[in-house]
């Protein structure tokens, strides 16, 4: 009933009953998720809950064992990859690159790369084009990865642990950049298990546990209903993990 009157294509992402098995491991079990435009959604879950696997399936880097994914109403393939910008949990850069090389590389691959946005992001992130990737600190490296990914004018951004392992100052800068450079007609799906620092930027959250979606709700509604922060709820839900 809730989607009556809304055409299917207005959903940026539709994940339907997706299951993924790696031999004996059930990484995802019947995951269904729908995301509209203009939202920053947190994909929350403890280690091994299936966050990266779900992102890789949406990005088209691995196939589901069963179920389907639609991006802007179409299947995962060249057309979806043109509108999905993915920041994996491993760097997109090579060690020989400078920051400028990394951005050139991204520009060559993606027609939706916006050089002006990239320049503004470099400035915001305090990165210099001549800096060598292999001399950047972990925090500066994360800033570069995010700059590469957000400089595309994509419709769906998949950010896998963009604040993993960085210090609080870098974390704040990265979150501020997300808010500053986020475009309203796009959607961000961001995975993390570091909820307290980041919950301020989420519109809604998905709780993934042992490969299953156990909750998908707006954060304001969750806070009102439970009288708790998302971080407190997260700690309760995953207490035994």
Ligand X SMILES: Nc1ncnc2c1ncn2[C@@H]1O[C@H](COP(=O)(O)OP(=O)(O)OP(=O)(O)O)[C@@H](O)[C@H]1O
The yes or no reply on residue 173 touching ligand X (CB under 6 A) is no
Instruction: Report helix, strand or coil for 72.
Output: coil
The yes or no reply on residue 42 touching ligand X (CB under 6 A) is no
The yes or no reply on residue 45 touching ligand X (CB under 6 A) is yes
CA 182/CA 100 separation, integer angstroms: 22
The yes or no reply on residue 24 touching ligand X (CB under 6 A) is no
* Site size with ligand X, rule: CB under 6 A: 12
Give me the least distance between CB of 174 and ligand X, in Å please.
Answer: 17
The yes or no reply on residue 196 touching ligand X (CB under 6 A) is no
Q: Could you tell me the two tokens for 12? A: 């940026």
Pick the closer one to ligand X by CB: 26 or 39.
26
Pick the closer one to ligand X by CB: 37 or 61.
61
- List 29, 81, 120, 193, residue binding ligand X (CB under 6 A): 193
Q: Could you tell me the two tokens for 65? A: 């064992």
How is the beta sheet containing 66-71 ordered, strand by strand?
Answer: 25-36, 11-22, 66-71, 74-75
The yes or no reply on residue 53 touching ligand X (CB under 6 A) is yes
The yes or no reply on residue 22 touching ligand X (CB under 6 A) is yes
Read off the DSSP letter of residue 8: G
- List 14, 44, 50, 155, residue binding ligand X (CB under 6 A): 50
Partners of 28 in beta bridges: 20
CA 91/CA 133 separation, integer angstroms: 10
Q: Are 35 and 6 in contact (CB under 8 A)?
A: no
Pick the closer one to ligand X by CB: 118 or 206.
206
The yes or no reply on residue 47 touching ligand X (CB under 6 A) is yes
CA distances from 110 to 21, 115, 157, 187 (A): 31, 11, 14, 18
Site for ligand X in 111-170 (CB under 6 A): none
Which stretches of the chain bind ligand X, using CB under 6 A?
22, 25, 27, 45, 47-53, 193
């Amino acid at each position: 009933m809730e989607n009556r009157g809304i055409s299917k294509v207005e959903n940026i992402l539709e994940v339907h009953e997706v299951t993924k098995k790696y031999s004996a491991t059930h990484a995802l079990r019947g995951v269904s998720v729908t995301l509209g435009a203009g939202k920053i959604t947190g994909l929350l879950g403890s280690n091994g809950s299936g966050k990266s696997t779900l992102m890789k399936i949406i990005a088209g880097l691995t196939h589901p064992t069963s179920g389907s994914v639609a991006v802007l109403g179409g299947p995962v393939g060249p057309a979806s990859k043109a509108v999905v910008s993915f920041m994996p949990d491993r760097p997109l850069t090579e060690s020989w690159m400078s920051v400028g090389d990394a951005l050139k590389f991204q520009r060559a691959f993606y027609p939706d790369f916006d050089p002006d946005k990239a320049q503004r992001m470099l400035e915001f992130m305090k990165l210099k084009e001549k800096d060598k990737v292999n001399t950047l600190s972990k925090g500066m490296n994360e800033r570069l990865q995010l700059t590469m990914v957000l400089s595309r004018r994509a419709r769906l951004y998949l950010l896998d642990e963009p604040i993993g392992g960085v210090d609080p100052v870098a974390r704040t800068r990265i979150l501020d950049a997300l808010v500053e450079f986020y475009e309203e007609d796009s959607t961000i799906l961001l995975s993390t298990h570091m909820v307290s620092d980041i919950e301020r930027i989420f519109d809604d959250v998905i709780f993934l546990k042992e490969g299953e979606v156990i909750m998908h709700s707006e954060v304001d509604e969750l806070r009102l209903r439970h009288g708790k922060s998302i971080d407190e709820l997260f700690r309760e839900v995953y207490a035994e993990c």
